[in-house]
Amino acid sequence: MLTLVKNKDIYFEYIRTLRLHPENTSGFIEQVFITPAQQQTYMEEHGHKFYIALYQKKPAGYIGVIDDDIRICTDPNFKRKGIAGFMLDNLAVLHPNARAKVLRQNAASNNLFLKCGYYKYNEDELFNYYKRAGK
């Protein structure tokens, strides 16, 4: 069973680990290392903008919206099981105006947004830009 819960401090380090996982980093725009201390500081400011997907009560991914910009990541142990789709479906209710800026080379993420009710409203050399249909 899947649920989406608000982020809290017990998940701060989990989010950092997923964000830095070698299978995930290339999908993100910024290739940075984040220390636990930096994560703590960042989460104190933005942590309330994140949600955690729980699969049978275990964390399986996260989604966050900052200034209407979506960041999403699935735990490598749970990929291709519909976790990201579930998070985006829930986000559509919580943040209907949220958008995504996705690296053109990130096939998984581009497919994900197209599959989950988003459309490409712009593009440039590096990125595709998505928002929800009707927004």
Ligand X SMILES: CC(C)(COP(=O)(O)OP(=O)(O)OC[C@H]1O[C@@H](n2cnc3c(N)ncnc32)[C@H](O)[C@@H]1OP(=O)(O)O)[C@@H](O)C(=O)NCCC(=O)NCCS
Q: How far is the C-alpha of 36 from the C-alpha of 13, rounded, in Å?
A: 7
Phi, psi of 49 (to 5 degrees): -95, 5
Residues 109, 28 contacting (CB under 8 angstroms): no
Closest contact distance (angstroms) between CB of 91 and ligand X is 12
By beta-carbon proximity to ligand X, the closer residue of 37 and 120 is 120
Smallest distance, Å, CB 72 to ligand X? 5
- Do the strands 58-66 and 69-74 form a parallel or antiparallel pair, or are they unpaired? antiparallel
For the bound state, the minimum distance from the C-beta of residue 26 to ligand X, rounded and expressed in Å, comes to 7
Q: Are strands 127-132 and 100-103 parallel, antiparallel or unpaired?
A: antiparallel
* CB of 85 or CB of 117, closer to ligand X: 85
Q: Which residue is nearest to ligand X (CB)?
A: 27
Site for ligand X, rule CB under 6 A: 24, 27-28, 72-74, 79-85, 100, 102, 106-109, 111-112, 115
Q: How far is the CB of 74 from ligand X (least distance, A)?
A: 3
Query: Is the CB of 32 or the CB of 107 nearer to ligand X?
Result: 107
**Complex with ligand X: residue 43 or 84, whichever CB lies closer:** 84
Pick from 66, 63, 48: nearest CA to 2: 63
- Give the whole-angstrom CA distance, residue 8 versus residue 44: 10
